[in-house]
Amino acid sequence: MATVYYDNDADLGVLEGKKIAIIGYGSQGHAHALNLKESGCDVRVGLYAGSRSWKAAEEAGLRVMATADAAAEADLSMILTPDTLQPEIYREAIAPNLSPGKVLMFAHGFAIRYSQIVPPEDVDVIMVAPKAPGHRVREIFPEGQGVPGLLAIYRDASGNAKALGLAYAKGIGCTRAGVIETTFKEETETDLFGEQAVLCGGVTALMKAGFDTLVEAGYQPEIAYFECVNEMKLIVDLIYQGGFSYMRYSVSDTAEHGDYTGGPRLITEETKAEMRRMLQEIQDGTYARNWILENQAGRPSFNSIRESERNSLVERVGRQLRSMMSWLNAK
């Protein structure tokens, strides 16, 4: 079983006197910075000149400075920028300001796992990864709650890396719910697999296939959308609340029967074999190489697919139907 840490396993005093730099002020960045500040930590935010987030961070009462200045001043730098930007930010602004005894932190292991960032031997390298979007991390913190998180130690140069990681996790609220010990390798590989095979790639492909099948059979696109896309949230919410059993308890017996009989016809051994191939490409670095090269080339394939998907029938129908839902904060 996994090792799980809670509030009584972590000591915020470990961070006393330490200067913390939050690099980036997006979804996770704003949550980490504000939660740590409210936990009594000495926080500054590092951003590039001209960042649209600069004013927002200042208005939230945070000290904001150029990334290099924040890294130079800090004892602990948490990098919370997109994976594809981290290597350049590290090389230009952080690495020149890393001295022995400092701490480098991440909320996702991609850059370390695939050697896009290679830290020096004399700094601690730690991951603290909340398992929720940053806005949720921030939303429930003032209420005395927290989201679960992950803790991984890549390098313990000081001999105190775990205590530092747990203190940081406590500062952002994760130890209130529980922090599971993992490794950079495990977090990165399972995260990428989940995104590709299930949470993003798998789910959206399944919904689109169902929608297309009904439309091609002559059913109205609006009805197909409700049955194959819109109601997905209702099912996922039930699973989130009580697992598969609670979802099956909550739906009709007919729907539950369809679950048992229909699912295995779609997710076959062939599907699982493809999942294993996807996992192998994540493990051996094939996926990371392709994604890194795509970014270096300016994302031509990625941008083309994104544009095509945005203009697909299922997206057009969805936008139309969401405009009818007055209670929904439609995007």
Contacts of 130 (CB under 8 A, 6+ apart): 28, 31, 107, 137, 147, 148, 149, 172, 174
Active site residue 32: no
DSSP string spanning 40-66?
T-EEEEEE-TT-THHHHHHHTT-EEEE
CA distances from 15 to 19, 108, 181, 219, 263 (A): 8, 21, 20, 60, 49
Query: Which helix (H) or strand (E) segment is 152 a member of?
Result: strand 149-155
Classify 58 as helix, strand or coil.
helix
SS3 state of residue 177 = coil
Given the residues 32, 108, 135, 257, the one annotated as active site: 108
Cβ proximity of 147 and 140 under 8 Å: yes
Eight-state DSSP code of residue 68: H
Q: Is the CB of residue 121 less than 8 Å from the CB of residue 142?
A: no
Helix (H, G, I), strand (E, B) or coil at 70: helix
Residue 25 token pair: 């002020």
Residue 2 contacts residue 148 (beta carbons within 8 Å): no
Helix (H) or strand (E) holding 325: none
Residues annotated as catalytic (active site), given as ranges: 108
